[in-house]
Amino acid sequence: MQQRALGRSGLMVAPWAFGGNVFGWTADAKTSFDLLDAFVGAGFNLVDTADVYSRWASGHSGGESETLIGQWLKRDAGNRRRIVLATKVGKEMGPGQKGLAPAYIRRAVEASLRRLGTDHIDLYQSHDDDADTPMEDTLAAYGELIAQGKVRAIGASNFSAERLALALETSRRHGLPRYECLQPLYNLYDRAPYEAELQPLCRREGLGVINFFALAKGFLTGKYRSEADLGKSPRGGGVKAYLDERGLRILAALDEVSAQWQATPAQVALAWQMARPGITAPIASATSLAQFDELAGAARLQLDAAALARLDAASAWAGA
């Protein structure tokens, strides 16, 4: 399986990343371990999580996903070298525990390393922008972690193009580590937020892109076709906004291309993203081995120009 460079970080990743938000939430320990075993067994390597996963769930306080990944790493000493381990810092973990201030980053990375049971994080990402902390302070703190060997590279998530450009300029001006990748919202439906301003910036600067919600919270699997379908999973409530004329047009195009290529809508939706210029590895999650097998098949699906054009036209957004 051909791997792709993650910016200038030296990290090489397979063309699909596993979203670890499900670990300890909708996937229990055994299921999580089975999924991770299958993921690396199939030749994939980028596992993306965050310290805050899954704080939103009842009875959870955050760190559940990192803890399960750490337990999986401990089961087999070879697992750590098989994966590119990515996590994030910045979203609220409790009172006074959020943001990108240097002191907080230093505390948060130690907590993540402890939960993960590892001595280094391959990709440490700012989960949200922090307008209250000077960028040079944040980047200098990351520089310390890189110098200490605790972090290999850094990335940004949920940044606007303006703020990401400022961060990159700050790195150049002060000789500090730069964000080597961006984790934006991007999929066949949610195209405009990334394509309008972030895509040109990332391509110009040579940043990797590992986009989240690659399947639009499950909408692009074709599982949700009416409001009556929204109760099919815990995420169903977040899908309602996609059930408009454009969303149904996208599903129709996915159905058409899927039939032509003997694939599923989810596989086609991911394959379209893998073919997009500048996209390094879409992030998607599975909660069963059957789902994993389906998503893994997307990496073997190389759509032709006609199929890509059909999907482009169906998902076209105003102003493109």
* Residues marked as catalytic: 53
Residue (of 174, 175, 166) closest to 205 by Cα position: 166
Residue (of 231, 208, 182) closest to 277 by Cα position: 208
Burial of 94 (0-12, 13-18, 19+ CB in 10 A): exposed
- CA pair distance 219, 227, nearest whole angstrom: 12
- CA pair distance 22, 48, nearest whole angstrom: 11
- CA pair distance 46, 309, nearest whole angstrom: 29
- CA pair distance 128, 254, nearest whole angstrom: 32
238 DSSP assignment: G
311, two tokens: 């999907």
- CA pair distance 318, 315, nearest whole angstrom: 10
- CA pair distance 121, 197, nearest whole angstrom: 29
- CA pair distance 129, 113, nearest whole angstrom: 22
Burial of 231 (0-12, 13-18, 19+ CB in 10 A): exposed
Residue (of 182, 132, 135, 178) closest to 157 by Cα position: 182
Please say whether the beta carbons of 212 and 283 come within 8 A.
yes
Indicate the SS3 state at residue 285: coil
Type of residue found at 237: G
